[in-house]
Amino acid sequence: MRAVDIIMNKRAGKELSREEIRFLIGGYVAGEIPDYQVSAWAMAVFFQGMSPAETAALTEVMLRSGAVIDLSGVPGPLVDKHSTGGVGDKTSLIIAPLVAALGIRDPMMSGRALGHTGGTLDKLEAVPGYRTGLSPEEFKNILIRDGFAMTGQTKDIVPADRLLYALRDVTGAVESIPLITASILSKKAAEGAEALVLDVKYGSGAFMKNPADAERLARSLVDTGSAMGKKIIALLTDMDEPLGRMVGNFLEVEECYDCLDGKGGGGSADLMEVSLELAARMLILGGRAKDAGAARAQCEETLATGKPRELFLANIKSQGGNPEEFLKMKGTYRSSHRGEITAGEEGYISRIDAWKTGHAGVELGVGRNRTEDPVSPTAGIEFLKKSGDRVRKGEPLMIVWGKDAASLEAALPGLAAAVEYSPDPPAKRNLILKEIGGL
């Protein structure tokens, strides 16, 4: 077999066999097939798609590219959630301690910033000392002790996704339904979760720009995951505007801690709404609640006890950070390169474009342009106003921090252009569009 023939077969729209997929992915992970051939193949998949059988084979081959974490013996229910990616999309850091406080165990394997979207691992590593490259043994011990543990793809676990994810990111091959399906489900199968809630996002800040494509992705995820024996629910959620008050690595960890205050999450109502709906589905899949209404009520009662916040801090300690230091850094750990966006018009903010915000975030240093680029822990954006707010011309709308002066300067025009205004209040956004799959 030759990699070039496999690339040409896919380019011609042919269905690849499991052997061809195994040859290509296996050769890539072994260092025998170079990046340039795999990126050409990924681009061919991007344009030609994959059949359900190919998608299932790719998922399986990626999963088998490394070790699978054995969570047998860990008392369940083992339920996780994963998002297809967004801007300010930080629900994992709220949901994991919340459902853990309700008796679910959440073994969470996440990714890094991809394209214009943020990455859970980059956010967590903004907390000094926090380690996301856990060994399977550490992952299991922390999961048992704290009720959740956060790790990433390593050279041992789903190495194929670690390589392919980074390659797609820098070669324009992210927004492909089969590649996203295999990337997410290989990680999720390797981490040992029995059930999975998927947050499939649509809108300018998502990889799927409209609800119809997001629904196609959700169905691919639910069908492929169900065939692998997982219980799955997918929610289609709005990602046309950034979620919450912050975009940035440390900033987002900080916002999640604030959201666990048991008083409704401060100014992050949209973030809390999506987090609670996802957490509710996790309780249903874990057999802890009969319906979403009852599950949400349990989540709200538990937030009021303060237990999720304690677990959040316990996890920082378990994974190498210092909770006391984190609390001291809160509110001040920011880059010294600071700017502001002020209102260009009088009226209501009708929309803040998530895609433009995400790109500005990459410019600021929140995300990366090349695989090897470091991300900045202290760069980011704080929204002082969001859509629906009335503003006066010249009023501050955002505080912005860049990793250096040049990146700050480069990001400001794009951020100003992300804000849209209207003379009348905009219609209320519907954050949750549809539920797919289920018990």
Q: Are 88 and 242 in contact (CB under 8 A)?
A: yes
Name which of 183 and 376 has its Cβ closer to ligand URA. 183
Minimal distance, residue 182 CB to ligand URA, in Å: 8
Query: How many residues in total does the chain contain?
Result: 439
- Secondary structure of residue 152 in the 3-state scheme: strand
Residue with tokens 């639910």: 222
Name which of 178 and 402 has its Cβ closer to ligand URA. 178
184 part of the interface to ligand URA, by CB under 6 A: yes
Structure-block tokens of residue 119 = 């990455």
39 part of the interface to ligand URA, by CB under 6 A: no
Check 39, 110, 176, 183 and give the catalytic one: 183
Q: What is the largest CA-CA distance in the chain?
A: 65
The H or E element spanning position 52 is: helix 52-63
Region of 93-101, 183-191, 294-302, 370-378 interacting with ligand URA (CB under 6 A) = 183-191
Name which of 183 and 319 has its Cβ closer to ligand URA. 183
Check 123, 168, 188, 201 and give the catalytic one: 168
Which residue in 92, 132, 151, 183 binds ligand URA (CB under 6 A)? 183
Whether 64 sits among the annotated catalytic residues: the reply is: no
Minimal distance, residue 359 CB to ligand URA, in Å: 17
Name which of 117 and 357 has its Cβ closer to ligand URA. 117
> Whole-angstrom Cα distance, residue 286 to residue 275?
16
CB atoms inside a 10 Å sphere around CB 268: 23
Check 106, 161, 238, 270 and give the catalytic one: 161
Which residue in 77, 85, 147, 308 binds ligand URA (CB under 6 A)? 85
Name which of 167 and 416 has its Cβ closer to ligand URA. 167
Give the x-and-dash track for 105-124 against ligand URA (CB under 6 A).
------x--x----------
Which residue in 39, 84, 319, 357 binds ligand URA (CB under 6 A)? 84
> Whole-angstrom Cα distance, residue 217 to residue 35?
26
Whether 161 sits among the annotated catalytic residues: the reply is: yes
Name which of 114 and 127 has its Cβ closer to ligand URA. 114
298-337 residues near ligand URA, rule: CB under 6 A:
none
Angle 246-249-255 (CA atoms, 0-180°, nearest 5)? 40
Count the site residues for ligand URA by CB under 6 A: 10
Region of 180-188, 224-232, 296-304, 326-334 interacting with ligand URA (CB under 6 A) = 180-188
Instruction: Please classify residue 345 by burial: count the beta carbons closer than 10 Å to its beta carbon, then call 0-12 exposed, 13-18 middle and 19+ buried.
Output: middle
> Whole-angstrom Cα distance, residue 247 to residue 275?
16
- Going by their DSSP bridges, the two strands 419-422 and 347-352 should be labelled as antiparallel
Residue with tokens 């919450």: 244
CA distances, 399 to each of 154, 190, 269, 295, 356 (Å): 35, 39, 19, 36, 16
CA distances, 310 to each of 102, 127, 262, 336 (Å): 13, 16, 12, 31
Whether 223 sits among the annotated catalytic residues: the reply is: no
Name which of 39 and 183 has its Cβ closer to ligand URA. 183
Nearest CA to 152 among 114, 100, 102? 114
φ/ψ of 48, rounded to 5, equals -100, -15
221 part of the interface to ligand URA, by CB under 6 A: no
Check 187, 201, 281, 386 and give the catalytic one: 187
The residues binding ligand URA (CB under 6 A) are 84-85, 111, 114, 165, 179-180, 183-184, 187
Q: Which residues are known catalytic residues?
A: 82, 161, 168, 183, 187
